[in-house]
Amino acid sequence: MRTTRSGSKTWSLVLAVGLPALFACSADSSSREPVELRFAGDAPEATFVVDYDQEIAWGIATLERTYGARYALTGLGSEDGDVRLGARLDSLFVVHSTPHGRGVVDARHLEGAEFQLSVPTSGGRPGYPDDAPVLLMPGNLEGELSVGRFMDFAFPALPEESVGVGDTWVAESEHPHVEAHVHATARVRTEYRLAGWEVVDGVECARIEGRLTGDVVAAPYEQYGATVEFSGTLEGDVIWLFDVEAGALVSATGETSSDGMLTSDGTTSTIRQQTRIGIAR
């Protein structure tokens, strides 16, 4: 990971996790020293929400899917250099629409399911257990959907060196994703910047901005006797606000989008996806 220093205004920070408050104002950062950024283990309770829309177009036919989920997150301390988080799935809905009609996937049996996440103190993609809740998809959506995958971009990757206001750093990551028959990997480059400091409800917070770009490639697979191939691109923006004194994230909001091409026996389809995330304590 590379850190770039810019300007002379700096401040300090300790990290953990939390979504944007309604009222915020700028804080003076003129006398702050560069600091090391690391996640802390005692994160307060928070709520993680996600909305995910997907549209697949084959000629004049269109398949649309909408996922929405809400999780309760609880800090469980640190272990072996990682921050442990408990997650409880409070609600999940999946709606799909095809030329043959509209349907809702019954996900009530997953509500209340609990699992744990591990996040490195240096941040980045969380680790999920093998027994994280899985939603079985019916009909033309047949396959599995891991509900944990929605959190992949919720946590920033932190710089190895101390940083001040205006400093930037870059991180590269890979995000495997399995949905139905598709086994894909997103290769993502994120450009981060410590943009400044804000006061949220009387709490001084650091503002970290991230710009994501990358590509998505899936292994070819067989479906209905045909070989299917997929490739695409991804981009997005995420903003995190951190409580300096408590070492807890007050706010995280972001949106990513991807466009791809699905090819099967010479026929090409387009896939567009949009994901919106947020964490609020």
**Strand, helix or coil at 33?**
coil
R_g of the chain computed on alpha carbons: 20
CATH value at residue 66: 2.30.230
Burial grade of 225 (CB within 10 A; 0-12, 13-18, 19 or more): exposed
**Whole-number Å distance between alpha carbons of 83 and 100:** 46
**Whole-number Å distance between alpha carbons of 29 and 11:** 6
Per-position pLDDT tens, the chain of length 281: 655 554 332 222 233 333 344 345 555 555 577 777 788 877 788 899 999 898 988 777 888 989 899 999 998 988 888 889 999 999 998 898 888 888 888 888 889 999 998 988 888 888 887 777 887 766 555 667 777 778 888 888 988 988 899 999 999 999 887 766 677 889 999 999 999 988 888 887 889 999 999 999 888 877 777 788 888 999 999 999 877 677 777 889 999 999 998 888 778 889 898 999 999 88
Q: What pTM value is reported for the model?
A: 0.82
Provide the number of structural domains found in the chain.
1
**Whole-number Å distance between alpha carbons of 158 and 167:** 12
What range does the domain containing 95 cover? 2-280
Sign (positive/negative) of CA torsion 125, 136, 133, 237? positive
Pairing mode, strands 203-223 and 46-58: unpaired
Sign (positive/negative) of CA torsion 209, 152, 222, 101? negative
- Return the amino acid letter for 237: D
